[in-house]
Amino acid sequence: MMLQLFLLLAAALLAIGLYGALSQQSIVMIMMGIELMVNAVIVAGAASWWFLSPHRPDGQVLVVVAITVMAVEMAMGFAVTTAIFRARDVDMTDMAADLKK
């Protein structure tokens, strides 16, 4: 496998995630789009580390930190979404617009 293939995969994941985040109104679908974009960054980072400097451990640490941050962000996002849904029975972004105030 070549680095270009992994970067192409990351670009495709980023594009699909960006389309999903911008075209959907459901909060869960927007979060899934964001998760795809973060996964694209992780794939690109891991591939860059593997092909450019595999003998250094800092690339692995960066990937593990990115995965941990993504997991925490998604857990918090789904917790907030669940709380909003239970309190107001709202799962669309337009209906949750009163949270701005």
Q: Smallest Cα–Cα separation from 85: which of 28, 24, 25? A: 28
CB-CB contact of 41 with 1 (8 Å): no
Q: State how many domains the chain has.
A: 1
Q: Is residue 54 part of a domain?
A: yes
| Axis crossing angle, helix 27-52 with helix 58-88, rounded to the nearest 10 | 180
pLDDT tens digits, residue range 58-79?
888 888 988 998 899 889 888 8
Chain mean pLDDT for the chain:
86
DSSP 3-state of 95? coil
In the predicted model, what is the mean pLDDT of residues 16-26? 91
Domain of residue 41, residue span: 1-90
Q: Is residue 95 part of a domain?
A: no
pTM of the model: 0.78
Q: Is residue 64 part of a domain?
A: yes
pLDDT tens digits, residue range 36-61?
999 999 999 999 899 988 888 888 88
Q: Is residue 101 part of a domain?
A: no
Confidence of residue 98 (pLDDT cuts 50, 70, 90): low
Q: Is residue 53 part of a domain?
A: yes
CATH number at residue 33: 1.10.287.3510
